[in-house]
Amino acid sequence: MVAQIEQMLVEAWEKFCDYYDTRAPRFQDSWRLPSCLDEADALKSHWICWDEKDLTFHIGRFFYDILKGKKESLFSNIEIHFEKKVDHINFPNDYVFANRLDELRSRLGKWPKVDMIVAYDNRPYRFLLCAEVKCFRGPPNYHDNETPIDKINADIKKLKAYKDLGIAKRVVFILFDDYYWCNDEETAKRIKERLDEIRNENGITVLFHTSEAKLENY
């Protein structure tokens, strides 16, 4: 069952990537009429996903489309929830993992928020799947001391905790790079290397894509 849920999320991600790759090249042709953007402006422009919330929304809507086509009873009462804090208020003692929440907070230093939770809404079971979603769309802010690798590592630490403590059966990391692949080759290389390490060392499913398709017409 959980393997099917993870595969549905992978399929939803693939549908999003196809959606982006198909639509993004069209936008640069009509963004500034009467002439289209030049390549430099297209590189700086962001379409479809303005931030991580947009990315999460698109993945969610494709997931629900897939879920809607499942007629088996075991897919009933499954929902996706976004940016939910995992604490005793939201998940009281009737949840099977409630006795592990204090350990979760101790391990992460705070009550974490999960970007995406797939769960049975009518059963206080472990989550079927937790996913963390990253969308890199520009350089770090001047007051942001975390590198992209730091941000990835922080999400992986959360995902490992959800799995190790029995809060989620499956965990997935999703990254959409709309900046580094075309502006900082060295960082882009380090990102890909880190994602390969995660796949090999942690058993976490990693989904990755870039916005390169927006330059298809150049």
Does residue 141 have a pLDDT over 70?
A: yes
pLDDT over 70 percentage in the chain: 90
Instruction: Give pLDDT, residue 75.
Output: 84
Instruction: Give pLDDT, residue 218.
Output: 61
Does residue 198 have a pLDDT over 90?
A: yes
Joined together, the tokens standing for residue 49 give: 């996903």
Query: Cis ω on the peptide bond leading into residue 34 (within 30° of 0)?
Result: yes
**pLDDT tens sequence across 146-191:** 899 999 999 999 999 999 999 999 999 999 999 999 899 999 999 9
**pLDDT tens sequence across 12-42:** 999 999 999 999 887 766 655 555 666 667 6
Q: Are 86 and 104 in contact (CB under 8 A)?
A: yes
Question: Considering the chain, what is the average pLDDT of its residues?
Answer: 91
In which element (H, E) is residue 127 found?
strand 127-136
Instruction: Give mean pLDDT, residues 199-206.
Output: 87
The torsion angles phi and psi of 96, rounded to 5 degrees, stand at -65, -20
pTM of the model: 0.92
